[in-house]
Structure 1
Amino acid sequence: MKRLLQAGLTGVGLLWLDLALAAQPAATTAAATTAAAGSASGQLGRLVLGLLLVLGLIFFLAWLLRRVQNVTPRGQQVIEIVGTRVVGPRDRLLLVQVGNEQILIGHTPGSLTALHVLAEPVQVPASARQATPEFAQRLMELLGKDQKDKS
């Protein structure tokens, strides 16, 4: 999907460039050159308008891409990360729930290792699962977004 949007954006940019070049009349006489120099403000206005159009298109496609990526429903996921613990600069432990089974996984930059399959699942309070890092929570407050909108 990302490649399709990039190809579409490239195609729109090339089409816009082609139309802009085709719209400029070929000035062959000296009178036409002086007239074109007099309409520099008109050319600047068209340039700014085109730039705003391209920037608006980029922001729209970024918004659309974010919406398309978040299409998967969260309630129907089979694998869920129940908890994490950082044990080193780049190492951490993950408690993953698959169905009714919980697995403790060691995560390093080069590998994932199943350390233990828990015989009895750990009961995690619902408030602990919904916790967000303090920075993310503060950023959401500053942006005026509610955490309920995210799920």
Structure 2
Amino acid sequence: MFKRLTAIPLSFVSLQSFAAEPVTQAAQTLPSVGSGITGQLLQLLLGLGLVVGLIFLLAWLMRRVQQITPRGGQVIKIVASQALGPRERLLLVQVGHEQVLLGLTAGRISPLHVMAEPVHLPDAEPASTEFAQRLMELLGKDQKDKS
């Protein structure tokens, strides 16, 4: 019985020594590639550069694909929009030569009226220069006060 107890640890030690030998021999025959901090940093930077380059490539491809689709020939146009509340809105939409008044809510779009004659909106008036003039006056006063 005493012999069996001593035989088990000896066989365990001998197995460990056999298992450790091939690992150490393989480690000695293979050159250490990138084992230093410089090699690891270089590998990290190359990986990061590859990922960033892939992101830029995909963004460029998406822009190219979006430019292929025609944008100028849209059939549906929003002519006017009026907010009625925080989540309710009226839209006047032109489809071809026909205009439709739509009601938009949080969960529904409802056609309210089909216009017999298209509504022509007046051309947008150019913005007044009153605000720009007043801003320049205030900026001028601030600059005079500093001197």
Same-fold call, TM > 0.5? yes
Match of 2:99 in 1: 102
Unaligned runs of 5+ in 2: 1-22, 126-147
Match of 1:20 in 2: none
Judged with a 3 Å threshold, the aligned counterparts in structure 2 of structure 1 residues 94 and 67 are, in CA distance, closer, same or farther, namely farther
The amino acid of 1:73's aligned partner reads P
Q: Distance in 2 between matches of 1:74 and 1:35?
A: 53
Q: Deviations over 1:35-84 (max 9, x none)?
A: 753x3212211211221121121122023213313433233221111121
Match of 1:111 in 2: 108
TM-score, normalisation: structure 1: 0.55
Q: Distance in 2 between matches of 1:68 and 1:90?
A: 33
TM-score, normalisation: structure 2: 0.57
Q: Distance in 1 between matches of 2:46 and 2:33?
A: 21
Match of 1:29 in 2: 27
Judged with a 3 Å threshold, the aligned counterparts in structure 2 of structure 1 residues 30 and 122 are, in CA distance, closer, same or farther, namely same
Judged with a 3 Å threshold, the aligned counterparts in structure 2 of structure 1 residues 117 and 73 are, in CA distance, closer, same or farther, namely same
1:71 aligns with 2:68: yes
Q: Distance in 2 between matches of 1:65 and 1:101?
A: 34
Q: Distance in 2 between matches of 1:36 and 1:77?
A: 57
Match of 1:87 in 2: 84
Unaligned runs of 5+ in 1: 1-25, 129-151
Deviation of the 1:97 alpha carbon = 0.4
Judged with a 3 Å threshold, the aligned counterparts in structure 2 of structure 1 residues 125 and 69 are, in CA distance, closer, same or farther, namely farther
Q: Distance in 2 between matches of 1:46 and 1:77?
A: 49
Corresponding residue pairs, total? 102
Contact 2:79–2:93 (CA<8 Å) still a contact in 1?
yes
Q: Determine what percentage of the aligned residue pairs are the same residue.
A: 54
Q: Distance in 2 between matches of 1:109 and 1:96?
A: 18
The amino acid of 1:29's aligned partner reads A
Structure 1 runs (4+) greater than 3 angstroms displaced: 30-37, 125-128
Deviation of the 1:104 alpha carbon = 0.5
3-state DSSP class of the match of 1:122? coil
Q: Distance in 1 between matches of 2:83 and 2:64?
A: 31
Instruction: Please give the root-mean-square deviation of Cα atoms over the aligned residues, in Å.
Output: 2.9
Judged with a 3 Å threshold, the aligned counterparts in structure 2 of structure 1 residues 34 and 68 are, in CA distance, closer, same or farther, namely closer
Judged with a 3 Å threshold, the aligned counterparts in structure 2 of structure 1 residues 31 and 111 are, in CA distance, closer, same or farther, namely same
